[in-house]
Structure 1
Amino acid sequence: MVRWQRGLWLFFVPSFGLLAVVLLWPLGYAIYLSFFDYYLGSNVRSFIGLGNYVDLLTEQRLWRSMWTTIVIAFGSVGLEFVVGFALALALYRLNSSARVFSVLLFLPHIVTPVVAALFLKWMLAANWGFVDATLLTFGITPPDWLGDPFWAKISVILADAWIFTPLIMMVLYAGLQGLDESLIEAAQIDGASNWRILRHVIIPALIPAIIFTISVRLMDVFRFFDIIYVLTGGGPGTATETITIYTYQLGFRMLQVGKASALGVITLVIVAALLLTINRLLNSIYRGGDR
């Protein structure tokens, strides 16, 4: 390496220092606290090794909240991807009119999630909310959107999809802009149907964008907090208590900081393993499509 190139490492130091302060130090401190029986505000820290991890992994509440997180995560991301992909294809066909529609469709993502959740909570309020009032006008008995365990999950999934579908739509629409039109034209000349063009031309070309959007959204949903906290608070009961809500309950309601830190580490490991598996699966499909 040339001498002047070795000097370029000095430009890396400020970024690494900021990363260490903002990310690595809190992560290391959380791992450190996870080995202690420590309550917030207490001056006593008792070292218990893997005790917090053993307690958490043997709790039914942890696995119930993890299952709820997986259901909400895959439900919302799946819905967001299907709707976002359909909207991206529609915008791609609109050509010159796409800009106006893309701005309008992107508006829900501009709103702060907490504000959007408050707006949706008002709309879904029992009896007098906008949705219930509309359904009652047509003689339809509405479900208890936020009070019934099943419908509370559905409401949370729909709320997340309403807010974040525009993000997936815009990323996939940007990917479509780089699509080679000659491939589509060649497929049409060969007599390929629209479904075959979508399956064998468009989707393989968008696999990198699909991997990116699914990975980012899954990471985002696994730390899902603000919308659920405003809409249901994790209820009714623990019906919508995700792993993040449970961590909040442990750390700021029960003040069990050591146990909450251990739960954060467990969540990090599970999410990392899940994302690596999904990325490998999608990449194998992508590479298989290239052969």
Structure 2
Amino acid sequence: MVRWQRGLWLFFLPSFGLLALVLLWPLGYAIYLSFFDYYLGSGERTFVGLANYADLLTEARLWNSMWTTILIAFGSVGVEFVVGFALALALYRLNRSAKVFSVLLFLPHIVTPVVAALFLKWMLASNWGFVDATLLTFNIEPPDWLGSPVWAKVSVILADAWVFTPLIMMVLYAALQGLDTSLIEAAQIDGAGSWSTLRHVIVPALIPAIIFVISIRLMDVFRFFDLIYVLTGGGPGTATETITIYTYQLGFRMLEVGKASALGVITLIVVAALLLTINRGLNKAYRGGDQ
């Protein structure tokens, strides 16, 4: 390394210091607490090693919340990606007014999730809510959106999709703007139809953007809290209790900070494994490699 280049590391130190302060130190402290039997407000900490992890992994409630999280995560991200990609393609094909439509479609993402959840809770209120009132007008018996375990999950998925689909749409639309149009023209000259062009030209070219938005959204959904807390509070029962809601219950209701920290570490490992698997799977499917 050239001598003058060694001094460039000094410019890295402020960023690394800030990163260590707001990310690495809290993460390290959470891992440290996960090895202790520690209750919030108590001055005593008893070292228990991996006992918190062992207790959690044998709890039915953990696995129920894990499967609920995975179901909501893949359901909401799946809906968001399909709808967002379709909207991005529609905007890409628009010759005029694309900017106006993109701004209008992006508006739900501007709304704070808590405000959006309060608005949706009012709309889905039983009997007198906007949705139920509209269905009853046409003599259609509405389901119990927030009181039924199945419909509560559906409502949470649709609520998350309504708020965050615009984000996926805008990222993919921006990626489409940088697409080499000569590839599309060449495919059309060779006789490829719209579906073949989409599958074999457009999607492979957008793999980096697709991996990015799916990864970001999966990480977001696994820490999904505000929308669920306002809409259902994890109910009815534990039907919509995700890992984040369970962690909140452990840490701030039961005050078991050691266990809550261990659950946070478990969640981190699960999310990292899922993202790595999806990344490798998409790369293998469309690029024939495991980049």
Same fold judged by TM-score > 0.5? yes
> Could you give the per-residue CA deviations for residues 60-112 of structure 1, whole angstroms, max 9, x where no partner exists?
00000000000000000000000000000100111221100000000000010
- CA distance in structure 2 between the aligned counterparts of 1:17 and 1:187, rounded to whole angstroms: 50
How far off its partner does 1:256 sit? 0.4
How far off its partner does 1:285 sit? 2.0
Aligned to 1:43: 43
**What is the identity, as a one-letter code, of the residue corresponding to 1:205?**
A
* CA RMSD in angstroms, aligned pairs only: 0.9
Secondary structure at the aligned position of 1:21 is classed as helix
Q: TM-score, normalised by structure 1?
A: 0.98
Aligned to 2:123: 123
- CA distance in structure 2 between the aligned counterparts of 1:73 and 1:10, rounded to whole angstroms: 40
What 5-or-longer segments of structure 1 have no aligned partner? none
Write out aligned runs for 1:1-291 (5 A).
1-288=1-288
Secondary structure at the aligned position of 1:96 is classed as coil
Secondary structure at the aligned position of 1:75 is classed as helix
How far off its partner does 1:286 sit? 3.0
**What is the identity, as a one-letter code, of the residue corresponding to 2:34?**
S
How far off its partner does 1:226 sit? 0.4
- CA distance in structure 1 between the aligned counterparts of 2:16 and 2:183, rounded to whole angstroms: 43
Secondary structure at the aligned position of 2:95 is classed as helix
**What is the identity, as a one-letter code, of the residue corresponding to 1:238?**
T
How far off its partner does 1:3 sit? 1.6
Secondary structure at the aligned position of 1:139 is classed as coil
- CA distance in structure 2 between the aligned counterparts of 1:95 and 1:231, rounded to whole angstroms: 39
What 5-or-longer segments of structure 2 have no aligned partner? none
How far off its partner does 1:189 sit? 1.9
- CA distance in structure 2 between the aligned counterparts of 1:181 and 1:11, rounded to whole angstroms: 40
> Is the Cα contact below 8 Å between 2:204 and 2:287 reproduced in 1?
no
> Could you give the per-residue CA deviations for residues 201-256 of structure 1, whole angstroms, max 9, x where no partner exists?
11111111111110110011000000000000000000000000000000000000
> Could you give the per-residue CA deviations for residues 142-171 of structure 1, whole angstroms, max 9, x where no partner exists?
000000000000000000000000000011
- CA distance in structure 2 between the aligned counterparts of 1:256 and 1:173, rounded to whole angstroms: 45
How far off its partner does 1:131 sit? 0.3
**What is the identity, as a one-letter code, of the residue corresponding to 1:139?**
N
> Is the Cα contact below 8 Å between 2:124 and 2:145 reproduced in 1?
yes
Larger deviation, residues 134-143 vs 92-101: 92-101
- CA distance in structure 1 between the aligned counterparts of 2:201 and 2:3, rounded to whole angstroms: 47
- CA distance in structure 1 between the aligned counterparts of 2:117 and 2:185, rounded to whole angstroms: 44
> Could you give the per-residue CA deviations for residues 266-285 of structure 1, whole angstroms, max 9, x where no partner exists?
10011111111111111222
- CA distance in structure 2 between the aligned counterparts of 1:48 and 1:288, rounded to whole angstroms: 46
- CA distance in structure 2 between the aligned counterparts of 1:170 and 1:69, rounded to whole angstroms: 25
State the identity %.
87
**What is the identity, as a one-letter code, of the residue corresponding to 2:241?**
E
How far off its partner does 1:128 sit? 0.5
> Is the Cα contact below 8 Å between 2:84 and 2:168 reproduced in 1?
yes
